[in-house]
Structure 1
Amino acid sequence: MEWLLAKVIARVVTRGSLTITFASGRRVTFGDGTGTPLAFRFTSPAWQRHIVFDPELKFGEAYMNGGLVIERGDIAEILAVMMAQVGLQVPSASARLMMKLRFLFRRLAQFNPPGKAKDNVAHHYDLDGRLYSLFLDADRQYSCAYFEHPGQSLDDAQLAKKRHIAAKLQFNRADLTALDIGCGWGGMGLYLAENAGARVTGVTLSEEQLGVARARAEEKGLSERADFRLQDYRDAPGPFDRIVSVGMFEHVGIGHYDEYFTKVAQLLADDGVALIHSIGRSEGPGITNPWIAKYIFPGGYIPALSEVLPAIERAGLFVTDIEILRLHYAETLKAWRERFLAHREEVERLYDARFVRMFEFYLAASEMAFRHQGMMVFQVQLAKREGVVPLTRTYIPQAEAALMRMEKNNRPGLRLAGE
């Protein structure tokens, strides 16, 4: 089996310099010798055999369980070399069969009725809250940031993301009502309440996130303007003048797209505006990476726009704007990974070394998927009538400038110690 794995890797890794020590002790260097030399070793023939048959699942499992040990470089660098190869091929006939089977049964894997959806959310978002405070920005934005210029800090880029979305939602009247579907720890909803003057209802299926969002609203004195609920979006009341969803649509599941957008249409006022911010794939329909589905986001799926737009059309909604954010999530994930690794000892005290390797692999693999394998983020603006949104996009920077002024007015002043 070792010879077969070596043959597969030689076919995949044609650039770079990657040295692998197999369980037998044999060392082989793959690639053309360019770039930084990297190296890892397998600790047993069993892991080599597993990876031949199901590389998408077993490579990550080998790293998190100690079956693959890095000797030079880190897992992000190794994944960058392996995932950036031109003409990447599926390693073996068995692996191709696994992919076909997963595609065939993907709707079953993404079946997310309300009860199961809550369990899937809890799997990832109800982890110890201290974990997320170690690598997210101060506002706990767990979605793609919007980098306005190279070198912008993560906190400023996440603030820019909220401002950019709020500008597209066009809060041009006082006391507009807004629904935040998948409100997370409340950052987006609190931003709209504080800076756009909205009356916000935020819904989440995470009890951990709900508690934090409510506490933050009370701390900011915004509890009357920002109401956070443990509720499935399918049970939310309406109508709302504005609807926003950031980083939640990836959890809907392909079999529920018609249900989702039909509900958005029902909840949206006739002159309302909605904005859906989601990860997407630029290379057409696919499957959820099995390692991600098993360990990180069960029930999740990253859609292609070709899968999303027909459901929007069937719901009777108009697409009034689409923006593709290229590489913004790669930079976001890089910042998260660097922050996470800077606190790896603290994470290990919260969980264990296996969890640290699992989460590091998740952040690194996700980053490289955005850098090298066609993942992106789309923001789709929706309305029920043609004339609701201005005819040109000049209103967006104008609204961003006004929101920036509001941010400065709402920023708490500095106090001396003891005041």
Structure 2
Amino acid sequence: MTDPRLYRKLFLNPELHAGEAYMDGTLIIEDGGIRGLLEVFAHNRDGLRKGPIRKGIKTIQKTFRKTMQRNKRNASIKNVEAHYDLSNDLYRLFLDSDLQYSCAYWPTDIKPLEEITLEEAQLAKKRHIAAKLRLEPGQRVLDIGCGWGGMAIHLAKNHGVNVVGVTLSQDQFALARQRVAAAGLQDKVEIRLQDYRDCKGPYDRVVSVGMFEHVGVGNFEEYFTKIRDVLTEDGCALVHSIGRKGGPGATGKWIRKYIFPGGYSPALSETFAAIEKAGLWVTDMEILRLHYAWTLAEWERRFQANRDAVVTMKDERFARMWEFYLVISEFSFLYGKHMNFQIQLAKSVGAVPVTRNSMMDGPDLLA
């Protein structure tokens, strides 16, 4: 530690200042690298967090978490710009070829984990979600938080549906439209630069992948109410999101400050409470536990393989920030309490079949 002030800073708030020190180069790992150091922390995190200072910080964070995640319209735009408008070329350096920036689905019952590529796992994720949506040709689908358009293109191309995808990211909006045109699907897919709160129905299906984490604690009921309002009476929705095993919490300051301003991984208890208030049926629920850890590990591997390009594109400090983010995120799923969940929702009790057989993927998921 090259800065004497770090001793006090790390004692008071290690989760914030360790990341900042690594970014600034005042924390130097001489043997093992940042992954090794963070793995030691991950194995000891429960004991470290029981200390009185850490408990106090967590209490303060939970008390003011709604203030931290207000995510009103202007704030939502700025928060999206801070992360998703960094450069499309940056994301190409570590994501799969379809630019899927959310948890992949690794069907290890079909093929051993080490034999599944990231591209295969992300395609399996899209197919898994499509099975739960029970799509029929000609249906109208709303994709809330459509990213670079991969899901919308997949659904339109393979299921004959008409998709409207909405995003607040200028970079994603521009590239998604280009990709739709390149696929010749302009008559099937429309990409809009639009807040989900301004969407009007009716839609037969709603899909939302990796967007609920950006809604903000105070807006959960509004989010699910919007899904309810745009759905047809016999429609259904599929929400795919990061979640947490424990009760309601707060996002760590380093992640809030440098990676996902306004972001939060919701607890199931507060998610279900908002769904109940919105008057929706939960027709299916699936927990994906280690899938995101495996996804992040592959992202980090690809990032490291292209690290020099990242430094050239941005700078060394950015590269350090991003590798810190990818590793701590992976460990939060591997050693911590984070997971992913997929919730199927409907307005009507009979909108979807009453058994799960209809959404079983089968061995062709990786075909």
Shorter-chain TM-score above 0.5:
yes
User: 2:34 matched to which residue of 1?
Assistant: 75
What is the CA-CA distance between 1:292 and the residue it aligns to?
0.3
- How big is each residue's C-alpha offset from its partner over 1:166-214, in whole Å with a ceiling of 9 and x where there is no partner? 000001x320000000000000011110001110000000000000100
Query: Which blocks of at least 5 consecutive residues in structure 1 are unaligned?
Result: 1-41, 409-419
Query: Which blocks of at least 5 consecutive residues in structure 2 are unaligned?
Result: none
1:205 aligns with 2:168: yes
1:160 aligns with 2:124: yes
What is the CA-CA distance between 1:383 and the residue it aligns to?
0.3
Rounded Cα–Cα distance in structure 2 between residues aligned with 1:241 and 1:330: 33
What is the CA-CA distance between 1:398 and the residue it aligns to?
5.5
User: 2:215 matched to which residue of 1?
Assistant: 252
User: 2:319 matched to which residue of 1?
Assistant: 356
How many equivalent residue pairs?
Answer: 362
User: 2:56 matched to which residue of 1?
Assistant: 97
Counterpart residue type for residue 316 of structure 1 = G
Report 1:290-309 matches (<5 A): 290-309=253-272
SS of the residue corresponding to residue 387 of structure 1 reads: coil
* Contact 2:66–2:216 (8 Å) recurs in 1: yes
User: 1:326 matched to which residue of 2?
Assistant: 289
User: 2:275 matched to which residue of 1?
Assistant: 312
Counterpart residue type for residue 275 of structure 2 = I
Report 1:189-204 matches (<5 A): 189-204=152-167
Residue 105 (structure 2) aligned to one of 128, 146, 149? 146
Residue 238 (structure 2) aligned to one of 275, 294, 315? 275
User: 2:67 matched to which residue of 1?
Assistant: 108
- How big is each residue's C-alpha offset from its partner over 1:205-264, in whole Å with a ceiling of 9 and x where there is no partner? 000000010000000000110000000000011110000000000000010001111111
Rounded Cα–Cα distance in structure 2 between residues aligned with 1:174 and 1:44: 62
Pick closer, same or farther for the CA change 1:86–1:362 going to 2, 3 Å.
closer
Counterpart residue type for residue 258 of structure 1 = E
SS of the residue corresponding to residue 394 of structure 1 reads: helix
* Contact 2:296–2:330 (8 Å) recurs in 1: yes
Counterpart residue type for residue 206 of structure 1 = S
What is the CA-CA distance between 1:343 and the residue it aligns to?
0.6
Rounded Cα–Cα distance in structure 1 between residues aligned with 2:187 and 2:348: 30
- How big is each residue's C-alpha offset from its partner over 1:339-376, in whole Å with a ceiling of 9 and x where there is no partner? 00111100000111000000000000000000011100
Rounded Cα–Cα distance in structure 2 between residues aligned with 1:86 and 1:53: 15
Percent of residue pairs identical: 52
* Contact 1:167–1:400 (8 Å) recurs in 2: no
What is the CA-CA distance between 1:161 and the residue it aligns to?
0.1
Pick closer, same or farther for the CA change 1:332–1:144 going to 2, 3 Å.
same
* Contact 2:128–2:361 (8 Å) recurs in 1: no
- How big is each residue's C-alpha offset from its partner over 1:306-363, in whole Å with a ceiling of 9 and x where there is no partner? 0100110111100000000011000000000000011110000011100000000000
Rounded Cα–Cα distance in structure 1 between residues aligned with 2:37 and 2:43: 10
Rounded Cα–Cα distance in structure 2 between residues aligned with 1:242 and 1:131: 32
User: 1:346 matched to which residue of 2?
Assistant: 309
TM-score, normalised on structure 1? 0.84
User: 1:120 matched to which residue of 2?
Assistant: 79
SS of the residue corresponding to residue 242 of structure 1 reads: strand
User: 1:235 matched to which residue of 2?
Assistant: 198
What is the CA-CA distance between 1:87 and the residue it aligns to?
3.8
* Contact 2:283–2:344 (8 Å) recurs in 1: yes
Counterpart residue type for residue 75 of structure 1 = I
What is the CA-CA distance between 1:86 and the residue it aligns to?
7.2
Counterpart residue type for residue 227 of structure 1 = E
Rounded Cα–Cα distance in structure 1 between residues aligned with 2:249 and 2:50: 17
- How big is each residue's C-alpha offset from its partner over 1:127-161, in whole Å with a ceiling of 9 and x where there is no partner? 11111000000000000000112121000000000
1:61 aligns with 2:20: yes
Pick closer, same or farther for the CA change 1:359–1:86 going to 2, 3 Å.
closer
What is the CA-CA distance between 1:99 and the residue it aligns to?
1.9
What is the CA-CA distance between 1:389 and the residue it aligns to?
1.3
Moved over 6 A (4+): none
What is the CA-CA distance between 1:90 and the residue it aligns to?
2.4
SS of the residue corresponding to residue 164 of structure 2 reads: strand
* Contact 1:249–1:278 (8 Å) recurs in 2: yes
1:84 aligns with 2:43: yes
What is the root-mean-square deviation of aligned Cα atoms in Å? 1.5
What is the CA-CA distance between 1:81 and the residue it aligns to?
1.8
TM-score, normalised on structure 2? 0.96
* Contact 1:170–1:399 (8 Å) recurs in 2: no
SS of the residue corresponding to residue 47 of structure 2 reads: coil
Point out the structure with max Rg over C-alpha.
1
